Amino acid sequence: MAKTLIPFGPQHPVLPEPLHLKLVMEDEIVVEAIPALGYIHRGLEGLATRRDFNQMVYVVERVCGICSCIHAMCYCQAIEGLMGLKVPPRAQYLRVIWSELHRMHSHLLWLGLFADGFGFESLFMALWRVRERIMDINEATAGNRVIISTNIVGGVRTDINTGYLQEILRTLKTVEAELKPLYDTMMNDYTVKLRTVGKGVLTKEQAWQLGAGGPTLRGSGWAHDMRTLGYEAFHELDFEPVVETDGDAYARTKVRFREVFQSIDLVRQAIAKLPDGILAVPVKGNPTGEITTRVEQPRGELFYYVYCNGTPNPERVRIRTPTFANIPPLLAMLPGVELADVPVIVLSIDPCISCTER
Amino acid sequence: MLMGRTIIKNLLHKYATRLHPYEQRILPDKFRGRFRFIIDKCIMCRNCAVKCPTKCITIDPETGLWEREVMACVYCGVCADVCPTGCIIMTNVYRPPITEPTKLTFMCTPRPKKKKPTEEAQTMNKKDVETAIKQQQAERTAPSLPVSEE
């Protein structure tokens, strides 16, 4: 049988961002997938060398449009580590609250897009309606829906008052009540199962060898979550990494949906333990030395390497994003599947190409 | 049976969406919307221009020019935070879209820098100045290295 080459992307109805895959097909079956990246490279790492380390917080926030708060948090942790700053406890807890709200709205966005990917549009709309509630919390507490700009080197910029904390708890109660029937639909519906169960299987050994991260790795049976390192206030909160063992698209969906409930629980714990105190410590001088930090993004492990030479501008900022780690596992999932299943499998790693190309 | 229940539920409950033109959304107080400038309060300290991550504010204390590139602004609100006199205020009114690069220009009271005499100039007497000028002139007129012209 002669092989044909079918281009998938960069413009495709299911892809929110430009990822190009050359699919080598034999009849209806994919034999090989060749990726092509670089459609939205913006040179933000180069910009870091021309900006002040305080201004750079707002630039790294714009690396990703969905998990902006977590990018800024990881960068701030790096600079704080270089300068020996100790973030006040209240700021640590507020960072946890905002990062978990971001994880929730990112997962809900993905679950909606995934439902849209296999043609379940009403589920997509129902999930995004729930997501709006989380966005409203962000808007009321920080001033913007996604790019919240609350992290600064040494702490946070704004506070959440006690009255609004109760409002957050009330909203989370509604969100949880609204999500439970949607969880049943997503996980137990016959048609959804037909499109997801057994599609894009990544075995436990493959996931580790190819260096997958985040829900892609946890869906294959590894309890690997960067939050267990205990950065910010996570060492004082009680949680377990969500793990599924099947390694298919269904398992990854389940991991993400269960993580939404886990995030709701973490925000509740953080609000219950929120201490009083100052929001930020003053920053004096310029950072010197090199450091690496890693945090857990909604898509997986985010890694920052920062090298500063005592001037206000960092010498080098290297960002390794989770989607970059998840592309080799994606290429291992694709051979052997039918062409119609490719969109669902590509979406199942939650690709964020803007993150990857920076 | 299941469908009947859904139909009745949908007939009885409220709208799922807001009836937009008639019902406006109330924006929260903290919303980072349009800027309001009380430019008479500006003391030309250049704090906002230095802290701005996109460098969209240009200030010239000599002429009193205060300029903001509206399209480059990312509405992070740092300038409003660092302004010592409160002349930049972020309101919670939704900002309208911009279609072409525009510049917002204000003219404030200029605050030229006071030029302090340097220590060298203070200690130098008139004769020294004269000899220094002569030296400079001699250097300028001295034959320089041959320059190749293409």
Chain B contact set for A56 (CB, 8 A):
53
Determine the Cα–Cα distance for residues A207 and A332; give it in Å rounded to an integer.
Answer: 9
Residue B66 included in any domain = yes
Chain B contact set for A129 (CB, 8 A):
16
Determine the Cα–Cα distance for residues A177 and A44; give it in Å rounded to an integer.
Answer: 40
Residue A264 reports pLDDT greater than 90: yes
Assign A265 a pLDDT band (cuts: 50, 70, 90): very high
Residue B139 included in any domain = no
A109: left (phi over 0), alpha (psi -120 to 50) or beta: alpha
- How many angstroms away from the CA of A208 is the closest CA of chain B? 39
Residue B146 reports pLDDT greater than 60: no
Report how far apart, in Å, the C-alpha atoms of A44 and of each of A47, A256, A298 are.
5, 29, 21
Q: Are A322 and A213 in contact (CB under 8 A)?
A: yes
Interface test with A, best of B32, B50, B55 (most A CBs within 10 A): B32
| pLDDT > 90 in chain A, percent | 22
Determine the Cα–Cα distance for residues A228 and A243; give it in Å rounded to an integer.
Answer: 14
Q: Are A5 and A22 in contact (CB under 8 A)?
A: yes
**Cβ of residue A143 closer than 8 Å to a chain B Cβ:** yes
| Residue of A304, A332, A330 lying closest to A317 (CA atoms) | A304
pLDDT value at residue A267: 92
pLDDT value at residue B5: 86
pLDDT digits (tens, 9 = 90+) for A128-171: 989 999 998 988 898 888 888 888 888 898 888 888 899 899 99
Q: How many domains does chain B have?
A: 1
Report how far apart, in Å, the C-alpha atoms of A275 and of each of A90, A92, A101 are.
5, 10, 19
Residue B122 included in any domain = no
Residue A34 included in any domain = no
Residue A344 included in any domain = yes
Assign B145 a pLDDT band (cuts: 50, 70, 90): very low
Domain, as residue range, for B81: 20-110
Assign B149 a pLDDT band (cuts: 50, 70, 90): very low
Assign B140 a pLDDT band (cuts: 50, 70, 90): low
Residue B136 included in any domain = no
Q: Which residue has the higher pLDDT, B129 or A287?
A: A287
Q: Which residue has the higher pLDDT, B30 or A2?
A: B30
| Residue of A106, A170, A95 lying closest to A323 (CA atoms) | A106
- How many angstroms away from the CA of A154 is the closest CA of chain B? 15
Residue A4 included in any domain = no
Chain B contact set for A51 (CB, 8 A):
53
Q: How many domains does chain A have?
A: 1
CB–CB of B53 and A58 under 8 A? yes
Chain B contact set for A62 (CB, 8 A):
74
Determine the Cα–Cα distance for residues A338 and A26; give it in Å rounded to an integer.
Answer: 10
Q: Which residues pair with A113 in a beta bridge?
A: none
Residue B147 reports pLDDT greater than 50: no
Average pLDDT over residues A64-90: 88
- How many angstroms away from the CA of B145 is the closest CA of chain A? 37
pLDDT value at residue B148: 37
Q: Which residue has the higher pLDDT, B125 or A308?
A: A308
Residue B74 included in any domain = yes
Domain, as residue range, for A129: 41-357
Residue B75: give its domain's CATH number: 3.30.70.3270
Residue B150 reports pLDDT greater than 50: no
Token reading at A221: 């049976």
pLDDT digits (tens, 9 = 90+) for B81-138: 888 888 888 888 888 888 888 888 877 777 766 666 555 555 556 666 667 667 766 6
Identity of the residue in A51, A129, A157 whose CB atom sits nearest the CB atom of B53? A51
Residues of B with CB under 8 A from a CB of A: 16, 27-28, 30-32, 51-53, 74-78, 81, 90
List the single residue in B with minimal CA-CA distance to A159.
Answer: B30
Residue A80: give its domain's CATH number: 1.10.645.10
Determine the Cα–Cα distance for residues A155 and A150; give it in Å rounded to an integer.
Answer: 9
pLDDT value at residue B136: 65
Under DSSP, the state recorded for A300 is: E
Residue A204 included in any domain = yes
pLDDT digits (tens, 9 = 90+) for B47-93: 888 888 888 888 888 888 888 888 888 888 888 888 888 888 888 88
Burial profile A188-210: b = 16 or more Cβ within 10 angstroms, e = fewer: eeeebeebbeebbbbeeebbeeb
